[in-house]
């Protein structure tokens, strides 16, 4: 499935925030993450009900792993921001203009997110985000597509 079709599907269909919904997202993106784990998706098991629930699903579109020249970090983040903004422009054809598209210094930056820059589209019962992340100097700079449960 092409990315435009994936975005349309996400925009038009409410997500289930249980193990079935997780499997649907895996199939939608064309891979099975469950045997491998996944970097930032949050899973919790409720032993009383033996169900899996999750609130975030991340797909890393690109990353530059450390070590990289720390003196060039600002240029690297700028490169990722250019890529992100090009994707925001492309995705806006399918999703419309993002509700938010700026950096963490903006006072309207979503409080529950951590990223250098973030574009956010509300979709059904979720939020779709395109993030430029750099959590720490030993961690990768990453461009991440995130689907997260609406708060």
pLDDT digits (tens, 9 = 90+) for 97-113: 999 999 999 999 999 99
Q: What is the largest CA-CA distance in the chain?
A: 50
pLDDT under 70: residue ranges of the chain: 1, 31-53, 66-68, 70, 137-138
Give residue 1's pLDDT: 56
Domain of 141 in residue numbering reads as 3-149
CA 93-95-25 angle, to 5 degrees, is 125
Domain count, the chain: 1
Indicate the SS3 state at residue 41: coil
User: How many CB atoms lie under 10 A from the CB of residue 37?
Assistant: 8
CA atoms of 83 and 107, how far apart (whole Å): 23
Main-chain phi, psi angles of 79, to 5 degrees: -60, -45
CB count in 10 Å sphere of residue 69: 8
Q: How far apart are CA 151 and CA 112, in angstroms?
A: 9
In this prediction, residue 12 carries a pLDDT of: 87
Q: Which residues pair with 110 in a beta bridge?
A: none
The beta-carbon contacts of 148-151 under 8 Å, at least 24 apart in sequence, are 148/55, 148/56, 148/57, 149/15, 149/17, 149/55, 149/56, 149/125, 150/122, 150/125, 150/126, 151/112
Q: Considering the entire predicted model, what is its pTM?
A: 0.79
């Amino acid at each position: 499935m092409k990315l435009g079709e994936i975005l349309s599907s996400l925009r038009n269909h409410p997500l289930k925030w249980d193990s079935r919904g997780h499997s649907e997202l895996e199939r939608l993106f064309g891979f099975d993450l469950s045997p491998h784990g996944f970097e930032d998706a949050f899973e919790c098991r409720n032993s009383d009900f033996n169900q899996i629930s999750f609130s975030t699903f991340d797909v890393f579109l690109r990353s530059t792993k450390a070590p990289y020249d720390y003196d060039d970090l600002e240029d690297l983040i700028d490169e990722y921001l250019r890529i992100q903004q090009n994707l925001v422009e492309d995705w806006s054809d399918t999703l419309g203009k993002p509700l938010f598209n700026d950096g963490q210094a903006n006072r309207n930056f979503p409080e529950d997110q951590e990223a250098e820059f973030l574009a956010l589209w509300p979709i059904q019962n979720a939020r779709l985000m395109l993030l430029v992340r750099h959590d720490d100097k030993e961690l990768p700079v990453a461009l991440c597509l995130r689907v997260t449960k609406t708060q």
